[in-house]
Structure 1
Amino acid sequence: MVNYNGTLVTQTGAEIQGNRGFLFGDSIFETIKVLDGKVLFLEDHYFRLMASLRIVRMEIPMHFTMEYFESQILGLVKVQAIESSARVRFSVFRKAGGFYLPETNDIEFVAVAEFLENAMYSFENQPYEVELFKDFYITAQLLSTLKSNNRLVQITGSIFAEENGYQNCLVMNEVKNIAEALQGNLFMLTGNKLITPPLSDGCLNGIMRKQILAIARKMENLEVAEQSISPFDLQKADELFITNVIKGIQPITKYRKKEYKTDLASELVKKLNVQIRLV
């Protein structure tokens, strides 16, 4: 079942030969977790989507309120009977027409949902090794912080990781600072200081990144900073972990010859689950 412009259908009937998301990557999307009939971090998802649409100059319809956004997501998971735990991809793209210059800034959207086995966020202390992906770089600019269809760095990096036996890769920007992981934001703990790259380094403006920053800043004896991370910093770190809204927190156990602890990641998962139960 698919939500196509507010109508639930089995097939969208959309033709890809004129779809600007397919032709030009002219699309913004949100990956959303639904738990027990509630959209987690609803306001953050909605306002990030609205900000992204404005940045790429898509026209936001007057009826596209947060309540409308929420109703389109919950209506989809309800009809599929997966309200207990679901992953939703909500894609917005400019209507067909034009080449690099679009004929209109009006939008259409498609939302699809699938069942998630794990309702709450879980801590998995399994081996998780990463490496640097050096074939391509992320540019340190505003467009890199958006969730757009332009994900070739993440796709080629994921293929590299799979071919070489890594669970993930870390992606650098053009000045060789670590921007993020292939599937989420990176956090690094050194001593009592928790660091994540700033948005100005080109990392995704992640929803879970925002939640973890807020939780960590309330913890005693923990300094939290948004600052650049070099590849050399990784060797001095005590702990590394990746965040995204579906997985929550994924601890990294190994980078090259360096092995890492997972204590803070475990504690943050517990605090995160308490937070979402209070929503």
Structure 2
Amino acid sequence: MINFNGTLVTQESNILTQNRGFLYGDAVFETVKIVNSQVLYLEDHYFRLMASMRVVRMEIPMDFTMEYFEEQILSLTNKLGISAAARTRVTVFRNDGGYYLPIDKTVSFLVHATALDSTLYVIDEEEYEVDLFKDFYVTKQLLSSIKSTNRLLNVTASIFASENGLDNCLLLNDSKNVVEAIQGNIFMLVGNKLVTPPVSEGCVNGVLRKQLLKLAKTIEGVEVAEEVISPFDLQKADELFITNVIKGIQPITKYRKKTFKTDLSQKLVSKLNEVVSVTLS
């Protein structure tokens, strides 16, 4: 028996009692965008998931190929009748058993999906204000760069942002440098130089981050670099924007008393949509 919200029920009636993802955050995940029944950046997502599983020493099933990964995602969205665009999350968790030390290194996975309004990426023209989150820090280590289900820092920062009328927060690492936003990588334009923190600073190794580093290099006059960003650098920026594979690019328009342009963001979204269109053609 277990006590669930004040009611005694059989343990078998609640699957979470032994679920290691729930009990210990012993799980990793990928959030992918589906457009016209195709997984955008399929290869990047698949190999990042495999790398994450290896980092936390999960046993990868022999049949968990890229084709299998794609098939499991699309079988769900097709069954749901989502033909245009979807946000789909694949969570892989180690199977039940043990305490901190698992007794079984094999894994199970869960896929769920929700429909999206737009197939292409769209720039949000509304004001978007951010500030620093200083209560907790991202550590500069390999675990910070993977998508694990241990996201308490992000959850707490989201609550802080909501309580303070902010649209997002920028997270700091243990060296007090800017690492990323709550749900995406951060880019900063100063003059003609576009900068994003290196993965070694503790940021998630974002799939769209990788794509935009390539795309930005195709824009004439823009220098691209992976460099440390301090909070003081933000005040010198001409543009700031956040990236993730679902939203695309979210320009930051206000940080404290500083306001920012969105010119480069607009250019990059256009280039991003060109790539998506070619992929789907």
Give the TM-score normalised by the residue count of structure 1: 0.95
- 1:133-152 matches, within 5 Å, as 133-152=133-152
For 1:83 and 1:121, locate their aligned partners in 2 and report how far apart those are by CA, in whole Å. 17
* Cα deviation digits, residues 101-130 of structure 1 (max 9, x gap): 100110000000111112110011210000
Aligned twin of 1:80: 80
For 2:121 and 2:195, locate their aligned partners in 1 and report how far apart those are by CA, in whole Å. 22
For 1:208 and 1:165, locate their aligned partners in 2 and report how far apart those are by CA, in whole Å. 27
For 1:46 and 1:140, locate their aligned partners in 2 and report how far apart those are by CA, in whole Å. 24
Report the alpha carbon displacement of residue 14 of structure 1 after superposing the two structures with TM. Answer: 7.2
Unaligned runs of 5+ in 2: 1-12
Aligned twin of 1:28: 28
For 2:244 and 2:140, locate their aligned partners in 1 and report how far apart those are by CA, in whole Å. 20
Percent identity at matched positions? 60
Which residue identity does 2:95 align to in structure 1? K
For 2:189 and 2:14, locate their aligned partners in 1 and report how far apart those are by CA, in whole Å. 46
Is the aligned partner of 1:38 residue 2:38? yes
Comparing 196-205 with 216-225, greater Cα deviation is found at 216-225
Aligned twin of 2:270: 270
* Cα deviation digits, residues 121-150 of structure 1 (max 9, x gap): 001121000000000000010000010011
Greater Rg, structure 1 or structure 2?
Answer: 2
Which residue identity does 1:136 align to in structure 2? F
For 2:83 and 2:47, locate their aligned partners in 1 and report how far apart those are by CA, in whole Å. 23
Unaligned runs of 5+ in 1: 1-12
Tell me the secondary structure at the aligned position of residue 246 of structure 2.
coil
Is the aligned partner of 1:234 residue 2:234? yes
For 1:150 and 1:76, locate their aligned partners in 2 and report how far apart those are by CA, in whole Å. 25
Report the alpha carbon displacement of residue 83 of structure 1 after superposing the two structures with TM. Answer: 2.4
Which residue identity does 1:63 align to in structure 2? D
Give the TM-score normalised by the residue count of structure 2: 0.94
Tell me the secondary structure at the aligned position of residue 236 of structure 1.
coil
Report the alpha carbon displacement of residue 219 of structure 1 after superposing the two structures with TM. Answer: 1.7
Aligned pair count reads 267
Which residue identity does 1:188 align to in structure 2? M
Aligned twin of 1:216: 216
Tell me the secondary structure at the aligned position of residue 137 of structure 2.
strand
Comparing 193-202 with 215-224, greater Cα deviation is found at 215-224
In structure 2, do the counterparts of structure 1 residues 263 and 14 end up closer, same or farther at CA, with 3 Å as the change threshold? farther
List structure 1 segments (4+ residues) > 4 angstroms apart after TM superposition. none
Is the aligned partner of 1:182 residue 2:185? no
Which residue identity does 1:153 align to in structure 2? L
Q: For the Cα contact (< 8 Å) 1:74–1:83, is it kept in 2?
A: no
Report the alpha carbon displacement of residue 26 of structure 1 after superposing the two structures with TM. Answer: 0.2
For 1:14 and 1:34, locate their aligned partners in 2 and report how far apart those are by CA, in whole Å. 31
